[in-house]
A = this chain, B = another copy of it.
């Protein structure tokens, strides 16, 4: 089938049905357009933090129902989602962040691998698409040991995805999720989280490549850990500093950008200690806003990098702008 130009399609079509035999040959004919592609651009985004290079890596999305949120009325939550044009669902990104500090190639969090269906588990593909070899990663910093942060430690064959990396996590986090005693006392529906954490770190531990740290300890040159407990017992952020710029990789401080910046008192069902998670969120939001920190969030809309602005009530998220890497 061909398309006629310089003759409106509707007119042509009507003519064709009645006077097909006498229809003049169109002056320009062209094949139908090719099929729609419906593929997305590769899920990485590069960003320069002075001498450091940050690559946001998209693992995929998961839908998190608004009913998982507590601390505001359903009506208020719906209004906040509508205000940010968040479609029903609610689509929630899972991001990891690869930081080349100049001295180290550091991955903060690792995504879900293939534990949660086809919508997730693309971090490793996107790391390669971004031009890096997983074998070159020397350090993996985990904000916490939930499966969407830790499962990506293992490749599809169950072997370490980062064979040359040392894994770092807060001691309180390891003491909780890797403890068979704690796991034994946990509700049945949370048991898989413990099991997945143990499985993911096991080969690294066996190789002597698993190291904990104490709250606030520096983990690498230019990288300090930042205590951020509440979502999990040893949840930690990482502050990367280069020149006069700092980037706080804050893990799960915000799950719903539309709701929790405006209303930091809203908690999510996955918080191990909701009250403490809310207090930590308020503290880090205030800190990020007043110090004008760059922030990288595991569940903020990809690439998940931006700034926090204090509003008369609550905060607003200001995403970074796409552009050439300076």
Contact = CB atoms under 8 A, between A and B. Distances in A.
A58 interface: yes
A199 to B, nearest CB: 22
In this complex, the interface size class of chain A, counting residues with CB under 8 Å from chain B, is 35 or more
Interface stretch (A129-137, A170-178, A247-255, A265-273): A129-137
A46 B86 CA distance: 17
A166 interface: yes
A321 interface: yes
B41 A46 contact: yes
A42 interface: yes
A83 interface: yes
Contacts of A34: 105, 132-133, 136
What is the copy number of this chain in the assembly? 2
Interface string A266-308: 0000000000000000000000000010000000011100110
Interface stretch (A3-11, A67-75, A148-156, A184-192): A3-11
Given A38-B46, A319-B319, A6 B292 contact: no
B103 A28 contact: no
A324 B42 contact: no
Interface in A27-59: 27-28, 30-31, 33-34, 36-46, 48, 53, 55, 58
Contacts of A91: 321, 323
Given A28-B209, A30-B164, A100-B33, A323 B61 contact: yes
A31 B84 CA distance: 46
Interface string A74-109: 000000000111100001010000001011110000
B301 A321 contact: yes
A53 B33 CA distance: 12
The secondary structure that dominates the A interface is loop
Contact of A38 (B30, B37, B53, B164): B53
A309 interface: yes
29 contacts: A3-B138, A5-B166, A6-B166, A6-B208, A9-B220, A28-B166, A28-B208, A33-B100, A33-B105, A34-B133, A34-B136, A37-B46, A37-B53, A37-B131, A38-B53, A39-B325, A40-B324, A40-B325, A41-B41, A41-B46, A61-B323, A83-B309, A85-B307, A85-B309, A86-B321, A93-B321, A93-B322, A302-B321, A302-B322
Given A33-B104, A61-B324, A301-B322, 12 more contacts: A34-B136, A36-B53, A37-B131, A38-B46, A38-B53, A40-B46, A41-B41, A41-B44, A60-B324, A85-B309, A86-B321, A302-B322
**Nearest 10 A/B pairs, CB to CB:** A33-B105, A301-B321, A302-B322, A36-B53, A85-B307, A38-B325, A37-B131, A36-B100, A30-B164, A85-B318
